[in-house]
Structure 1
Amino acid sequence: MFETDRLQLRAIREADFEKVLALWNDPRVQKMMSRDFVVPSGGDEQFRAGLLSALLFVIIETKDSHEFVGVTFLRLFDLQKKNRDAMLGLAFLPEFWGKGYATEVVRFIVDYAFEQLALHRVSLAVYGNNTAAIRVYNKVGFVQEVVQRKANWIDGKWQDVIWMAVLDEDWEASRKDDLKIVS
């Protein structure tokens, strides 16, 4: 189990699948996670297998009350294993949006990716209308690399898909800068 200031990140358990499915089936969450149609899922074996195939898939809970907050994961793609590039995914229940939890989790996962997993890049895709998430990613050190203009249809409008990444060397330099400020 991993811990941040206010959260714990732990392995998924059998009892968690229902919570993860409910999170996915919340239309507010699903439309920010998928480029497909927003439709309910029944949580079949393919759904479970997708969760478990990640390099890292953890449940996020509050430290004090062990309340389910959401999930985060890193997923390596077969063609990218040699390049040590993982996609970051993150989903919170809407009642936990805007409380600073995302920054806490993303910071931890990026540190873990470079310190423990020896990754070279952590990549992600975010929709242009998700300004809160973009602020979090920028704060943690992600840099915008590509914009796919009007590539995703959400709520009756086209949204850009923004691809961002943080590299190990940029992360390392930012940590050295942080140490200089503290010294």
Structure 2
Amino acid sequence: MTEEIKLHTERLIIRTPQAEDAQDIFTLMKDQDTAMITGFTPMNNISEAEGKIRGGISSGNMFVITTEENPNHTIGVFEIDFQKISTIHGEKQEYTICYFLHKNFRGKGYMTEVVKSMKRYLFMERQADTLIISIFPRDDASRRVAIKNGFIFKALERKCGM
């Protein structure tokens, strides 16, 4: 098991998921609209959420977002994907980040707080060289969060059939 992480922002807690988060994560990840905007496949049952949590705990690459007021209720998920990239100057640590909130908690600046905190954590604690946010073209809210956190538009990737 990896080290348990708990970060605090002004209003939120970003932490390692726990088994008790399964129902909230299932509720978040069964939502068709959220899945369409962010690009994940909606979950069909709670056991998928339980499996995701187990994987997130063992890899250390999944975090849940809660409010300080209600730390036992997950309102969002923040995931990272790590890759070592070989360059002519040596190896670089590249992290791709993905995030989403329950629709009732959007538009309040929460995700901007989360990304700011996680950006600091990834650069300082995990020695990231590069952070990438992949955003679907229809996800204007995530694009605004990225811009508010100093990310710049680099490229538009298209896949066959899109």
TM-score by length of 2: 0.80
Task: Note if 1:73 corresponds to 2:79.
Answer: yes
The structure 1 residue matched to 2:116, chosen from 94, 103, 107, is 107
Q: 1:124 aligns with which of 129, 133, 146?
A: 133
Match of 1:92 in 2: 101
Aligned length: 150
After TM superposition, list the pairs within 5 Å mapping 1:43-54 onto structure 2: 43-44=47-48, 47-52=52-57, 54=59
**Partner-residue secondary structure (3-state), 1:147:** coil
Larger mean CA deviation between 51-60 and 61-70 belongs to 51-60
Which residue is equivalent to 1:63? 68
- Does the CA-based 8 Å contact 2:64-2:74 persist in structure 1? yes
Highest CA radius of gyration, 1 or 2?
Answer: 1
Q: 128-137 vs 79-88, which deviates more? A: 79-88
1:29 aligns with 2:38: no
Note if contact 1:84-1:119 (Cα within 8 Å) is conserved in structure 2: yes
Contact 2:75 2:102 in 1 (8 A): yes
CA gap 1:94/1:145 in 2 versus in 1, 3 angstroms = same
Paired AA for residue 124 in structure 1: I
| 1:126 maps to amino acid | I
Q: Secondary structure at the match of 1:118?
A: coil
Partner amino acid, structure 1, of 2:16: A
> Once the two structures are aligned, what percentage of the paired residues are identical?
21
| CA pair 95-76 structure 1, distance change in 2 beyond 3 A | same
How large is the Cα RMSD of the aligned pairs?
A: 2.4
Question: What do the CA deviations read for 1:105-152 (whole angstroms, capped 9, x no partner)?
Answer: 000001111111111011121011111211110110111111124x49
Would you say 1:41 and 2:44 are equivalent positions? Answer: yes
Q: Which TM-score applies when normalising by structure 1?
A: 0.71
Match of 1:8 in 2: 13
Aligned 8 A contact 1:54 1:74 in 2 = no
Higher mean Cα deviation, 98-107 or 136-145? Answer: 136-145
- Unaligned segments of structure 2, at least 5 residues: 1-5
C-alpha separation in 2, matches of 1:4 and 1:41: 32
- Point out the structure with the larger helix share: 1
Answer yes or no: is 1:135 the counterpart of 2:144.
yes
Higher strand share: 1
Q: Which residue of structure 1 lines up, in the alignment, with residue 3 of structure 2? A: none
Paired with 1:55 and 1:89, the residues of 2 have a C-alpha distance of 14
Q: Determine if contact 1:55/1:73 at 8 Å carries over to the other structure.
A: no
Offset at residue 5 of structure 1 (A): 0.3
CA distance in 2, matches of 1:40, 1:55: 21
